[in-house]
Structure formats: C-alpha cells, structure tokens
C-alpha cells in the first residue's frame, strides 16, 4: 500500500480545514454512526445481557464464561476451521495454477473474464445452482458419478460431506478472482529473472519452485490474508442450503452468531462471540504478515 | 530448443485451462437449461443436455404471471411469488446505495487527497482501520439502531449503513485523486475557482474512469449482498432478490422441489450482473489486481 503525502505548503497552520470539514461531513457521519459507534457499542454489549426489548444489563464476564463452556461454540469454531482449511487450501493452489496457466498461455481478456464470472454472481445464486446440481436424486453430479459406477453421494445430507461440499462450492466461486490477484502479482516479476533462468538451463518446474513462487511470496501473503478473513465469514451458502445441518455439521461461527442474535435474541452473547471472532481474525492476519515477512520481496 | 517438448507442454496446459473454463461455465448453462424445463418432467431426464419439454412456465411462475393451477401443473408450489417486485427492490437498493456511496466517498477522498489540514493522515488511517472490523461485529449494534429508529422493513433501513461511505471506496478514489496534476488545480484557483468548482469541474471529470469502475464494483456488491437485507428487509415490499431466493428455496415443497422455478429465479437474480459484466468486462477484470492487493 502506498500512502503518498503531498509536500507541505506554507500556509496558515489550519490549512483547508474548513473546506475539508464540509467535504468530509457526509462520510464522517456514516463512519461514526455505522462503523465507530457500533464497534464501541458491540464491545460493550459483549459484557451485557441484551434481548433488544429492554436496556442491556451489565453482567461482566458472564458471556465469556458461558462461551468457554458452550459446546456449540466450540463445535462452530471447529467446523469453521475445517471449512477454512479446505476452502483456502484448495482455492490457493488452484488459483496459483490458473494464474500460471493464464500467464504462460494467453493475455486474452475473454479468458480472464470467464474465470472471474462466478465471483460476480451472488453467493446465494451460486449456492442454489450447486444445491440443484448436487441433489441426491436428480442432480447432474450424482448422475455423472453413476456413469462411472459410483453410488450417489448425499452432498448436503451427509454430515461428513456437508462442510467439504460447501467449501468446494466456494472454491468454485472464488478461485478465478483469487487467480486474477495472483496474476496481477505475476506481472510484477521482471522478465530478466526468467531470461537469466533460461540461460542457466532451468526447467519449467524448477523455475516455478525456485523463482516464481519465492518472488510471488509478498503477493501470496496478502492474498492469503484477504481470502482467509473472507473465508472465516462464511454465511450465505450455509444459510440457503444446509442451515447449519445435518445436526451441527455446518453450523459455522457466523451462522451460530446469527442464530443466537436473531432467533434467540441473545444479543449480548452473540456480541461476545463476534468480538472473539474479530480477535481471531486480527491475530491471524498479524501472524501471517509476521511469519511470512510479507513486505519484503526476495528481489530486494 | 526443445521445440516438440514445449509444444506438448503447451497443449496439455491449454487442455487444462479449457477444462477449467468448462467447469466454470457449466453451472451457468445448467441453470439456463433447467430454467427452461418443465419441472414435472425433470426427474425423468436428469442428464438431458437440452431443456426437458422446453417451456417458459418457470419464468411465468416466478414472475407471478401464471395462475395457481397452472403453476402447480408444472410442479410449482403455487405460493405467490413476484420476482418483478424483488427485481424492482434490488434496483432501488443498489442504485441508491451506489450513487450515494460513490459520491460521498469521492467528496471524502478529495478532502484526503487534495486538501491540506492538520491531522489529515491520522484521520485517514482511522478510516482505513475500519476495514479490519468483521461486518458481523458492527451488524449487531447496527441492527439494534435501525430497529430503534423504526426503520426495519424500509428501504432506508437497508440502504443507510452503506449510503455514506466504505473505507474501501474512499481509499480507492484517494489513490486516483492523488495522481492528478496539481498545476491544473492551481491554474483553476488563479482563475478564481473555489473548491466546489475544482471538485465538480476538474477532479470528477478527470477521474471518470476510476469512478465508473468503483460504481460498477459497488453496484455488484450491493446487488449480491444477502446478510444485511436478510436482517432488516424481510417484508415483501422491500425484499431484494437474494433474500427472495432464500425464501423461495425454503417454500419449495420438500418431496418434489420446484427446481425449474428456482433456477428461473436465480437466473433473474444473476442476469443483470452478467449483462453488466459483459458490458464492462475489461474494466472489471483490470480493476481486480488493484482493488485486491494495493
């Protein structure tokens, strides 16, 4: 990220403050009312019992104590992690693959557009199309499996398959978008590096492992941070297909928070879980950036 | 050098890329194929590549154009659905959100990029920090606020939180505004132009391209949003397409779901974005590297 600062000019110390306040007024209003205030309010609510009907009642650490002993919460965290691992693992590998293919084969905007297409339709649309294609009885995927002699799979009904299924659906939706991010990164690698490798007689595979991947690292780390944060917030797909089931197999953390807040009106507890999720996401981004030294490229 | 080996590699690589593209496009085709089928006939021909007993019945059904008897004869639930209404609602929500959000964000970006005032960069950093907060965390208090204001099930309730700014929109436009030549601005100032004239007459026209790109991205995001409208816009008069799809899916009979109707409805929800995408494919694909990484 480049933050450019314009050179200081000799003026009154307040500069254009008055004009700036006018230009910033609407955005600041929205920012304070819908970002700052709810962030502070949410943190406060996490220490209360609040059903929306009466004023929140301060209960100290009760919600957090409850969370530690709530097996549904731990289940939700576990299911979410399983989802993220499958989703991000597969998606990242596929995205790098697609990006490499595009980079080596074609500059065609059509290819890039096709690859991006699933990302532009709603999660809900994608979820429903796959819900239909993966139907146990008449879905085309189970038909195709039967041609090669595989018994039909209850993709959404079997508790072992439900999370991998949801994860794969979202791999399908996001892999092209992620590939374009990686593709943008590939284009920043100077061509002389490849030319040098070719002169040294490096093979395609060797070049990929020894040169492309290490030079791509800063981009990959940023992509991982962005996609992983998004992945933890899986909700739409679950909400329109399995709704947390079968049993608790797909009750991901976002969905569990949603249920607590909007079907049980347990806003205090839901806020506490949302705060924990916030902390987890912040920690993960920090760790990834630290561990993988995102800012430094091996070119430097 | 190693010409034949390279060619073989290229053929395999092209084959892989084509397989990936087919995998990407097939579900769209399947949605189309199912939407034009007669739902009662679908189970008999689960793998027919062409629509089964092709008919417009599913579209009529979800657009509320066929009678209950007609709908049920073709395997619909007979429940009243009116995707015209949901389409209208989505258009209203996305259009108002996009116009307001982009305009107010542009104003803010101008203040951050072209004006000088004490504390500017600190305030900007604060705006950016909001990107870190996961939406669900702010959604809970925001819902309470909208409810207390009596705005549940109103367009205002759906639109307000996104109408003023997003940190991303301000960040995106600021980057472009920073790159505009200052001399033009100074020349305009010498001619006696105020900040309002510089903003409307100089900055906005010169940034038409990035503003359009941002507007398209905002429109798509707003159109596809599910979580917030699900919470505050359940009622039919303000129900947007994504929410309506969820409702339609849960209404469909368990024994024999109305797959044709469901796919017709998803097609109606997806088509405007696909058209927008086809029209602006180059602009959208080229914006990805920028918006994601920088």
What domains are there in chain B, each with its CATH number? 87-239 (1.10.3720.10)
Nearest CB among B136, B226, B294 relative to A257 is that of B136
Nearest CA to A79 out of A205, A204, A268, A253 is that of A253
| Range A8-32 average pLDDT | 83
Decide if B224 touches A, using CB distance below 8 A.
Answer: yes
Question: Structural domain tally of chain A?
Answer: 1
Across the interface, whether the CB atoms of B288 and A180 are under 8 A apart is answered yes
| Range B72-86 average pLDDT | 78
| pLDDT at residue A293 in the model | 64
Decide if B197 touches A, using CB distance below 8 A.
Answer: no
Residue A154 distance to chain B (closest CA, Å): 15
- DSSP-assigned letter for residue A32: I
Across the interface, whether the CB atoms of A271 and B140 are under 8 A apart is answered yes
Nearest CB among A138, A184, A232 relative to B288 is that of A184
Decide if B170 touches A, using CB distance below 8 A.
Answer: yes
Which residues are paired to A57 by β-bridges?
A49
CA distances from B22 to A4, A75, A111, B25 (A): 43, 37, 11, 5
Cα B238 to Cα B88: distance, rounded to the nearest angstrom: 9
Nearest CB among A101, A114, A258 relative to B24 is that of A114
Across the interface, whether the CB atoms of A4 and B178 are under 8 A apart is answered yes
Decide if B289 touches A, using CB distance below 8 A.
Answer: yes
| pLDDT at residue B224 in the model | 93
| pLDDT at residue A299 in the model | 57
Token pair listed for A36: 């700052």
Q: Which of A38, A119, A187, A218 to mutate to test the interface with B (most CBs of B within 10 A)?
A: A38
Residue B67 distance to chain A (closest CA, Å): 25
Cβ(B239)–Cβ(B247) below 8 Å: yes
Name the residue with higher pLDDT: A198 or A269: A269
Cβ(A51)–Cβ(A267) below 8 Å: yes
| pLDDT at residue B289 in the model | 67
Cα B137 to Cα A282: distance, rounded to the nearest angstrom: 13
Residue B140 distance to chain A (closest CA, Å): 7
Q: Is residue A284 part of a domain?
A: yes
| Range B55-80 average pLDDT | 78
Q: Give the pLDDT band of residue A274 (cuts 50, 70, 90).
A: very high
| pLDDT at residue B54 in the model | 81
pLDDT tens string B184-235: 888 888 888 889 999 999 999 999 988 998 999 899 999 999 999 999 999 9
Nearest CB among B24, B115, B259 relative to A117 is that of B24
Cα A140 to Cα A6: distance, rounded to the nearest angstrom: 58
Residue A36 distance to chain B (closest CA, Å): 8
Task: Give residue A209's domain range.
Answer: 63-291
Q: What is the dihedral of CA B226, B292, B172, A27, to 10 degrees?
A: 40
Across the interface, whether the CB atoms of A181 and B292 are under 8 A apart is answered yes
Q: What's the CATH number where A134 sits?
A: 1.10.3720.10
pLDDT tens string B97-135: 999 999 999 999 999 999 999 999 999 999 988 888 888
Cβ(B245)–Cβ(B268) below 8 Å: no
Q: Is residue A264 part of a domain?
A: yes
| Segment of B77-81, B97-101, B261-265 carrying the highest mean pLDDT | B97-101
Q: Is the per-residue pLDDT at A2 higher than 60?
A: no
> Which runs of consecutive H residues, i.e. helices, occur in chain B?
3-35, 57-62, 68-73, 83-113, 120-129, 135-148, 155-163, 167-178, 182-190, 195-198, 204-206, 208-224, 227-232, 241-251, 259-279, 281-293
Decide if B96 touches A, using CB distance below 8 A.
Answer: no
| pLDDT at residue B63 in the model | 86
> Which runs of consecutive H residues, i.e. helices, occur in chain A?
17-31, 37-45, 62-68, 71-105, 109-120, 123-133, 140-147, 162-186, 191-199, 204-207, 213-232, 236-240, 253-262, 267-291
Q: Is the per-residue pLDDT at A295 higher than 80?
A: no
| pLDDT at residue B158 in the model | 96
Cα A220 to Cα A230: distance, rounded to the nearest angstrom: 15
Q: Which residues of A touch B117 (CB under 8 A)?
A: 14-17, 20
| pLDDT at residue B53 in the model | 83
Q: Give the pLDDT band of residue A298 (cuts 50, 70, 90).
A: low
Q: Which residues of B touch A24 (CB under 8 A)?
A: 107-108, 111, 123
SS3 state at A48: strand
Q: Which residues of A touch B31 (CB under 8 A)?
A: 129, 132
Q: Is residue A30 part of a domain?
A: no
Q: Is residue A4 part of a domain?
A: no
Residue B69 distance to chain A (closest CA, Å): 24
Q: Is residue A45 part of a domain?
A: no
Q: What is the pTM of this model?
A: 0.89
Q: Is residue A50 part of a domain?
A: no
Q: Is residue A16 part of a domain?
A: no
Q: Which residues of A touch B270 (CB under 8 A)?
A: 121-122, 125
Q: Which of residues 228-257 of B touch A (CB under 8 A)?
A: 230-231, 241-242, 245-246, 249, 257
| pLDDT at residue A10 in the model | 47
Residue B224 distance to chain A (closest CA, Å): 4
pLDDT tens string A58-107: 998 999 999 999 999 999 999 999 999 999 999 999 999 999 999 888 88
Q: Is the per-residue pLDDT at B5 higher than 80?
A: no
Name the residue with higher pLDDT: A150 or A12: A150
Which residues are paired to A58 by β-bridges?
A48
Nearest CA to A255 out of A131, A77, A70 is that of A77
Q: Which residues of A touch B141 (CB under 8 A)?
A: 37-38, 41-42, 45, 271
Q: Which residues of A touch B124 (CB under 8 A)?
A: 3
Burial (CB count <10 Å: 0-12, 13-18, 19+), residue B86:
buried
Nearest CB among B115, B118, B257 relative to A19 is that of B115
CA distances from B4 to A297, B10, B27 (A): 35, 10, 36
Q: Is residue A101 part of a domain?
A: yes
Q: Which residue in B has a C-alpha nearest to residue A121's C-alpha?
A: B270
pLDDT tens string B163-175: 999 999 999 899 8
Across the interface, whether the CB atoms of A2 and B294 are under 8 A apart is answered yes
| pLDDT at residue A42 in the model | 94
| Range B140-157 average pLDDT | 94
Token pair listed for A258: 């949603």
Across the interface, whether the CB atoms of A140 and B46 are under 8 A apart is answered yes
Q: Which residues of B touch A106 (CB under 8 A)?
A: 17
Across the interface, whether the CB atoms of B246 and A172 are under 8 A apart is answered no
Cα A17 to Cα A34: distance, rounded to the nearest angstrom: 24
Q: Is the per-residue pLDDT at A4 higher than 80?
A: no
Provide the percentage of residues in chain A whose pLDDT is more than 70.
Answer: 93
Q: Give the pLDDT band of residue B1 (cuts 50, 70, 90).
A: very low
Q: Is the per-residue pLDDT at A9 higher than 60?
A: no
In degrees rounded to 5, what are phi and psi of residue A48?
Answer: -130, 170
User: How many of the other CB atoms lie within 10 Å of CB of A107?
Assistant: 8
Nearest CB among B117, B246, B269 relative to A20 is that of B117
| pLDDT at residue B4 in the model | 56
| pLDDT at residue B3 in the model | 53
Cβ(A56)–Cβ(A48) below 8 Å: yes
């Amino acid at each position: 990220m480049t933050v450019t600062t314009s050179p200081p000019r000799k003026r009154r110390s307040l500069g254009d403050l008055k004009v700036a306040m006018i230009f910033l007024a609407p955005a600041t209003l929205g920012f304070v009312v819908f970002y700052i205030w709810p962030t502070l309010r949410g943190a406060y609510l996490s220490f209360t019992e609040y059903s929306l009907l009466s004023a929140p009642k301060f209960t100290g650490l009760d919600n957090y104590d409850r969370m530690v002993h709530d097996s549904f919460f731990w289940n939700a965290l576990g299911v979410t992690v399983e989802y993220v691992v499958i989703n991000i693992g597969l998606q990242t590998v596929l995205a790098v693959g697609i990006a490499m293919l595009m980079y080596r084969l074609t500059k065609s905007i059509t290819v890039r557009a096709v690859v991006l297409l699933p990302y532009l339709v709603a999660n809900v649309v994608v979820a429903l199309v796959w819900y239909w294609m993966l139907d146990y009885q008449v879905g085309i995927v189970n038909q195709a499996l039967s041609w090669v002699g595989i018994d039909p799979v209850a993709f959404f009904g079997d508790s072992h398959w439900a999370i991998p299924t949801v994860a794969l659906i979202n791999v399908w939706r996001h892999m092209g978008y992620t590939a374009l991010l990686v593709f943008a990164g590939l284009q920043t690698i100077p061509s002389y590096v490849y030319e040098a490798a070719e002169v040294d007689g490096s093979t395609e595979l060797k070049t990929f492992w020894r040169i492309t991947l290490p030079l791509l690292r800063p981009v990959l780390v940023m992509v991982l941070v962005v996609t992983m944060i998004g992945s933890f917030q899986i909700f739409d797909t679950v909400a329109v297909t399995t709704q947390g089931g079968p049993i608790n197999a797909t009750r991901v953390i976002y969905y569990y928070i949603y249920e607590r807040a909007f079907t049980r009106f347990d806003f205090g507890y839901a806020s506490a879980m949302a705060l924990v999720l916030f902390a987890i996401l912040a920690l993960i981004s920090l760790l990834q950036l630290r561990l993988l030294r995102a800012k430094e490229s091996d070119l430097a | 050098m190693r010409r034949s080996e390279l060619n073989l590699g290229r053929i395999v690589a092209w084959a892989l890329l084509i397989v990936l593209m087919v995998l990407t496009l097939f579900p769209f085709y399947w949605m189309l194929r199912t939407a034009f089928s007669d739902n009662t006939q679908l189970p008999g021909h689960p793998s027919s590549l062409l629509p089964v007993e092709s008919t417009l019945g599913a579209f009529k059904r979800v657009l509320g154009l066929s009678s209950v008897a007609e709908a049920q004869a073709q395997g619909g639930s007979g429940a009243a659905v009116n995707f015209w209404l949901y389409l209208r609602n989505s258009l209203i929500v996305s259009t108002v959100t996009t116009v307001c959000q982009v305009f107010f964000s542009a104003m803010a970006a101008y203040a951050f990029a072209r004006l000088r005032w004490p504390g500017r960069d600190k305030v900007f950093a604060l705006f950016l920090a909001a990107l870190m907060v996961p939406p669900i965390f702010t959604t809970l208090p925001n819902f309470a606020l909208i409810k207390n204001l009596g705005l549940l099930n109103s367009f205002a309730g759906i639109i307000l939180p996104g109408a003023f700014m997003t940190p991303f929109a301000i960040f995106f436009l600021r980057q472009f505004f920073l790159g505009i030549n200052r001399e033009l601005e100074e020349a305009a100032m010498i001619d006696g132009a105020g900040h309002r004239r510089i903003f409307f007459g100089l900055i906005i026209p010169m940034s038409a391209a990035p503003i359009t790109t941002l507007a398209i991205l905002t429109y798509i995001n707003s159109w596809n949003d599910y979580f917030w409208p699900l919470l505050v816009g359940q009622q039919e008069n303000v129900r947007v397409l994504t929410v309506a799809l969820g409702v339609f899916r849960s209404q469909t009979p368990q024994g024999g779901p109305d797959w044709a109707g469901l796919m017709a409805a998803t097609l109606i929800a997806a088509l405007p974005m696909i058209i927008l995408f086809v029209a602006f494919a180059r602009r959208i694909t080229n914006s990805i590297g920028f918006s994601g990484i920088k």
